[in-house]
Structure formats: C-alpha cells, structure tokens
Structure 1
Amino acid sequence: MRAELSRRWQSLTRAMGADREASQRVGETLLDAYSGPDRHYHGLKHLEFLFGEIDQHSGRISDLHRLELAAWFHDWIYDTQRNDNEARSADTALAMLEEMRVSPNLRERVAALIRMTRSHTSSGDEDDDLFLDMDFAILGAPARVYDQYAEQVRAEFSWVPAELFDAGRAEFLRSVLARKRIFLTEIYEARLGEQARDNISREIDRLEG
C-alpha cells in the first residue's frame, strides 16, 4: 500500500511541476506520519479510501490537484490529545508546499480546505463539499466496515477512560445525526445517507447501552 501511495504522490507532484527533491522528501515524511503505530484509523488505509472516493468522482471535481493535496495533508498531524490538529496540519501544509515551489494561491486554497475538516460545514463550493463528504464517507459504509472503523477510533483514544470516551463519542454522533442531512452533496446523501444514519444510531445504542 505504501509503495502504491508513493507512486500516486510522485505522479501528482510531477503533474504539478513541483520541485522534485523537495517533493520526494515531503512525500516520505507524509507516508511516515500516516504509517505511525497510533494511526489505527487515520493511517494509510484512510488515505487509500479517500483517493478511491476522489477517483470515483474525479469528473465532478474542478481542481483535482487541490483535492488530492488536501487529502494528503489533512491528517498529517493527528494527536488525539489536542484539538487543533486541522489548523496545525494546514499550517504545516503551507510550509511544505512552499518548499515544493507550489504556487501561493494553491497553497492557501489547500490549507483552507484542510481547516474546513474541523467543522465539516458547507462553504458553498462544490469541490469543498465533495471533499468533506469524502472524508465522512466512512459513516455510510456497510455495517461491518463501519463497526471496524468505530473500533479503530476507540483504539486511537485508548488513553481516555471508557466512560468519558463513550459519552463524548455519543455526543459527537448525536450532533451528526441531528443534521438535516448527514452529507453536504446530493450525490453522497443519496448514496450513503440512510446507511450512515443506521450506523450512527447503532453505535449510539452500543455506547449508551
């Protein structure tokens, strides 16, 4: 999986005309970060999943390079004991993309999209909404896959006592379930909305059971 993702990174950075040496160095740093032993969910498989979603909907995406870069950098920093991972990932992306000689405009737009993953609220831009839905698409996965995801998230928060984790996780899930729509785009809501509600309700029942 790492080799395949590395090839994807190289293909992207070549297509963008990014600095080759810097891109290689940043790519290895990214892959190392996502390969960390504490990345039970937010690891290489999450990246692979996101790129599968991007490939599936590539014809709808206006700026493919921007979404691919956002996918790579959005969970660069993932520390479950902090609440500023998105902002830190965005700031790091800005610095690394500058090193790669990526244009200032694209750097800023990538960072802005990464910051949006904190709230997952619509900006009114179709690319933004598609990316946020892709990041949330696991919520609408088949029940077995979703249950595995829930277990992986729990493992990432293994330092949190069970009672506190269950209460916090249930609160988050209820906030998602309370939305008029789980997903921002019609295509994701139609495809995954019902399954996502079933999955979330089932996990809440388990957490509060």
Structure 2
Amino acid sequence: MTQSALRAELSRRWQSLTRAMGADREASQRVGETLLDAYSGPDRHYHGLKHLEFLFGEIDQHSGRISDLHRLELAAWFHDWIYDTQRNDNEARSADTALAMLEEMRVSPNLRERVAALIRMTRSHTSSGDEDDDLFLDMDFAILGAPARVYDQYAEQVRAEFSWVPAELFDAGRAEFLRSVLARKRIFLTEIYEARLGEQARDNISREIDRLEG
C-alpha cells in the first residue's frame, strides 16, 4: 500500500472513531490532519503511519478483550504524536498535547485524562494491573516478537531515526536497552502476548545484541 493510500485509510479510521465518540466534528478533522502530518514526517522511519497501521491491527485482533476500545484507539493515535530522538520526554509531551487536543474535540475530562495516563505508561512499559493498559503496552512492544525479517527491518528503521548518533554510542545504548528487556522475567505483560510472541522476541533481541556487540 502506498503512503497516500495508507494515510487515506487511517483518515477514515480516525473519522469513524471520532464520529462514534460524538466528538466535535470540526476540531476532530483539524486534529486528525495534524496527527497524520506528524506520523508522515520524513524522519519517521519506524514511528510513522505503518506503526499506526500495525497497532490498529493488534487492537482489531484483540478488540473482544478490550473494555474501553475508544481509550486504546485514542492512545494509539496520540502516543507517538511527538517523537524527537534528541529528547527524552516525548511520552510526557505527547500526553500533554493529547490532553489539549482532546479538550478541543470536546472529549470528556475523564477519558482524556485516562488516555494521557496510558500514553505516559509507554515510557516504562510496566504493568499498572489494568488489563487494557497491559494489552496496549504489549501491542506497542509486539514488534519485538515479529518474524526475524520484519524485526530486522524494524531495527534498521530505528537506527535510521537515530542517524545523528555515532555508531559506537548508538550500539552501546541500544544494546543496554535490549538487555534490560531481555532481563525481564517476561517480555510481555499479558499471558496471551507472552505465549504468542515471547520466544520469538527473545530470539530477535538476542540476535540484535550479538550484532551490536559483535
């Protein structure tokens, strides 16, 4: 699918979501275009429209397990709205911007606060004890358990997003992050994701660490 076709498909999904929520139509249209512009940026080698498509595929696959579908869909849309590889506060900034934009759309205070809270959780990927939260965090991490070829492409795309970082520094930092993930008792928070993707994720992560440190 071309970038323009994917953008059109995602735009339709956004419109369907905001209509179902009863959000302000004009504000929703404006916010939707802003979101799509952000995810279409030339530096979004991984965290772009395809990442959104991937997340929505995971949400659709597990929609029957999700208690608040609107919340997870909104979190998917906003969680990487701001993605600047030279900063370490992207999640907080994305959450704060989501709060403001959702207020413009006339989304209820309770829902927008809960969306922002979920976005902030993507920084640490630790369980809150809420099944919806854990599912969403696992969906965001699901690329780690992708088939080897897909994972390797993801790793290359992440490197491209950090092209300004010298290779030695990037490799050391990336390996440290991957080792922290591998050191977890379980990579995924939910049983369903751990059973489906845990073993493949460990294989992928170990292979990338070997490459980075080889």
Distance in 1, matches of 2:161 and 2:14, equals 26
Provide Cα deviations, 1:7-38, integer angstroms capped at 9, x if missing partner.
Answer: 00000000000000000000000000000000
Q: Name 1:75's counterpart in structure 2.
A: 80
Provide Cα deviations, 1:91-148, integer angstroms capped at 9, x if missing partner.
Answer: 0000000000000000000000000000000000000000000000000000000000
Provide Cα deviations, 1:137-166, integer angstroms capped at 9, x if missing partner.
Answer: 000000000000000000000000000000
Q: Name 1:10's counterpart in structure 2.
A: 15
Q: Name 2:3's counterpart in structure 1.
A: none
Provide Cα deviations, 1:147-199, integer angstroms capped at 9, x if missing partner.
Answer: 00000000000000000000000000000000000000000000000000000
Distance in 1, matches of 2:65 and 2:173, equals 35
- Residues 17-166 of structure 1: matches in 2 within 5 Å? 17-166=22-171
Distance in 1, matches of 2:87 and 2:95, equals 15
> Secondary structure of the residue that 2:54 maps to in structure 1?
helix
Deviation at 1:53, TM superposition (A): 0.0
Deviation at 1:78, TM superposition (A): 0.1
Deviation at 1:69, TM superposition (A): 0.0
Distance in 2, matches of 1:43 and 1:170, equals 23
Distance in 2, matches of 1:40 and 1:107, equals 28
Distance in 1, matches of 2:155 and 2:79, equals 20
Distance in 2, matches of 1:166 and 1:115, equals 26
Structure 1 unaligned regions, length at least 5: none
Structure 2 unaligned regions, length at least 5: 1-5
Distance in 2, matches of 1:62 and 1:86, equals 23
CA RMSD of aligned residues (A): 0.1
Distance in 1, matches of 2:95 and 2:191, equals 27
Deviation at 1:64, TM superposition (A): 0.0
Distance in 2, matches of 1:59 and 1:197, equals 27
Runs of 4+ in structure 1 displaced over 2 angstroms? Answer: none
Provide Cα deviations, 1:43-91, integer angstroms capped at 9, x if missing partner.
Answer: 0000000000000000000000000000000000000000000000000
